[in-house]
Amino acid sequence: MIIPKIHREFYKLDLSEGWEIPEGYPDGIVQKIISGSLDEVNKTGSRTRILKIKKGTFTTKPFVHDYWEEVFLFEGDLRVGNDEYGKGGEVFNPLTYAVRPPGTYHGPFSTTNGCTVMEFHYYDGENGR
Residue 40 lies in a domain: yes
The pLDDT score that the predictor gives to residue 127 is 45
Residue 17 lies in a domain: no
The pLDDT score that the predictor gives to residue 125 is 63
Residue 115 lies in a domain: yes
Residue 1 lies in a domain: no
Angle, CA 38 vertex, CA 12 and CA 73 arms, to 5°: 55
Structural domain count, the chain: 1
- State which residues form the domain around 45: 29-128
The pLDDT score that the predictor gives to residue 114 is 98
In the β-sheet with 68-76, what is the strand arrangement from edge to edge?
A: 29-39, 44-53, 115-122, 68-76, 96-100
The answer to whether 58 touches 89, Cβ cutoff 8 Å, is no
**Residue ranges for the chain with pLDDT beneath 70:** 125-129
Residue 18 lies in a domain: no
- Any idea what the CATH number is for the domain that residue 123 is in? 2.60.120.10
Residue 3 lies in a domain: no
Residue 75 lies in a domain: yes
Distance, CA of 124 to CA of 128 (rounded, Å): 6
